[in-house]
Amino acid sequence: MSDNPIPTWHGTTILNVRKDNEVVMIGDGQVSLGDTVIKGSAQKVRRIGGGKVVAGFAGATADAFTLFERLEAKLEQYPNQLTRACVELAKDWRTDRYLRKLEAMMLVSDKDVSLVLTGTGDVLEPDDGVVAIGSGGNYALAAARALVGQKDVPAEDVARKAMEIAADICVYTNSNFTIEKV
């Protein structure tokens, strides 16, 4: 139990599914403060990089917006090089005194690659194209991995069903989804 009497923000599940040349990123809309739902319709998944990249965040909202802006700048500096832009952002995030204090994680995808970015300098690409972050991320990830191998089930259906399962299990995840496709 924390000594901090101030409740902490919770709530986010972001899932990325890459299947059959389709990429789908889906996020729930719930934001909680302690055990209270503050908002049910937050949009945590959006397009950046001229619409070629989809990105989702988990963590503090203001911190995530700062990271979106920084990633947009890196994408302008390294056009059509998502991995390079993410590595450069991760370097800044890890070494810059201000950025080091940001409490957020990001999932980003374009037509070629899906990546997880963390404040510890990690830029990770999943082996199977399925990755999730946030409080319900492990639930969504497990469900998506179970569903992704089914033939004739498109990526969007896998993502939606996996998020529904996560929303049924995780109290910090709801069924108000934002979906973006590449």
- 134-176, pLDDT tens digit by residue? 999 999 999 999 999 999 999 999 999 999 999 999 999 999 9
Q: What's the CA gap between 103 and 54, in Å, rounded? A: 20
Distances (CA, A) of 3 to 6, 7, 9, 35, 135: 9, 11, 16, 17, 21
For residue 138, what pLDDT is reported? 96
- pLDDT over 90 at 120, yes or no: no
Q: What's the CA gap between 59 and 39, in Å, rounded? A: 14
Flag whether 174 is in a domain.
Answer: yes
Is 12 part of the annotated catalytic residue set?
Answer: yes
Task: Let me know: does 81 contact 94? Beta carbons within 8 Å.
Answer: no
Mean of all residue pLDDT scores within the chain: 90
Flag whether 111 is in a domain.
Answer: yes
Flag whether 4 is in a domain.
Answer: no
Among the ranges given (2-6, 60-64, 103-107, 144-148), the one the predictor scored with the smallest mean pLDDT: 2-6
Catalytic site residue from 8, 12, 61, 173: 12
- pLDDT over 90 at 132, yes or no: yes
Q: Residue 6's pLDDT band (boundaries 50, 70, 90)?
A: low
- Report helix, strand and coil shares of the chain as percent, to nearest 5: 35, 30, 35
Q: Residue 65's pLDDT band (boundaries 50, 70, 90)?
A: confident
Place of tokens 């390294």: 78
The CATH number of residue 124's host domain is 3.60.20.10
Flag whether 106 is in a domain.
Answer: yes
Task: Let me know: does 12 contact 144? Beta carbons within 8 Å.
Answer: no
Place of tokens 């005194």: 97
Flag whether 18 is in a domain.
Answer: yes
Flag whether 122 is in a domain.
Answer: yes
- pLDDT over 60 at 11, yes or no: yes
- Total number of domains constituting the chain: 1
Flag whether 3 is in a domain.
Answer: no
For residue 8, what pLDDT is reported? 56
> Strand 130-134 to strand 13-19: parallel, antiparallel, or no bridges (unpaired)?
antiparallel
For residue 1, what pLDDT is reported? 46
Q: What's the CA gap between 25 and 132, in Å, rounded? A: 9
What range defines the domain where residue 61 resides?
A: 9-181
